[in-house]
């Protein structure tokens, strides 16, 4: 049972919220979000595979949708449905560049298309690295 002291400790008064604003008018409570990307991406994947800028953007976009955002299919490494045009718009690249990057990422075996707009993304990018780091996908595997 929750006691009164813990409820009051979490309470924020309106007077305090006015003090939380900086001189610039922005709230100090707004902080940038972060995503956990394995170091192996920076140490091995970028170096060994010589990915283009757009391939990195698309891979990180899919990776974050699978592993960093709320996702019902996370344990299987599968993304939610995504719009290719929305992806292109969010990344600031052309739709043809997105399609080209998706094809290249599939050639490298970093992703697999489940259906248009839904992808399987390995936690550690390659099957060998998944095995090395003992990553499984709840009996789902390509």
Structural domain span for residue 113: 39-132
Tens of pLDDT, residue by residue over 37-95, are 999 999 999 999 999 999 999 999 999 989 988 878 888 888 888 899 999 999 999 99
pLDDT over 90, % of the chain: 44
Is the pTM higher than 0.75? The answer reads no
SS3 at position 12: coil
**DSSP 8-state assignment for residue 81:** P
Using 50, 70 and 90 to split pLDDT, how confident is the model at 4?
low
Distances (CA, A) of 44 to 41, 75, 83, 88: 6, 24, 29, 26
Using 50, 70 and 90 to split pLDDT, how confident is the model at 116?
confident
Please tell me the predicted confidence (pLDDT) of residue 7.
66
Inside any domain, residue 6: no
| Alpha carbons 117 and 83: distance in angstroms, whole number | 6
Inside any domain, residue 20: no
Q: Residue 119: give its domain's CATH number.
A: 1.10.10.10
Inside any domain, residue 90: yes
């Amino acid at each position: 049972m929750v006691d009164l002291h813990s409820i009051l400790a979490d309470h924020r008064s309106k007077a305090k919220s006015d003090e939380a604003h900086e001189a610039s008018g922005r709230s100090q409570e707004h902080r940038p979000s972060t995503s956990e990307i394995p170091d192996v991406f920076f140490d091995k994947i970028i170096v060994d595979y010589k990915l283009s800028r757009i391939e990195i953007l698309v891979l990180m976009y899919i990776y974050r949708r699978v592993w960093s955002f709320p996702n019902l299919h996370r344990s299987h490494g599968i993304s939610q449905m995504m719009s290719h045009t929305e992806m292109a718009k969010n990344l600031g690249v052309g739709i043809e560049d997105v399609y080209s990057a998706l094809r290249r990422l599939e050639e490298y075996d970093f992703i697999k298309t489940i259906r248009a707009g839904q992808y399987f993304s390995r936690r550690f990018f390659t099957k060998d690295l998944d095995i090395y780091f003992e990553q499984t996908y709840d009996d789902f595997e390509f």
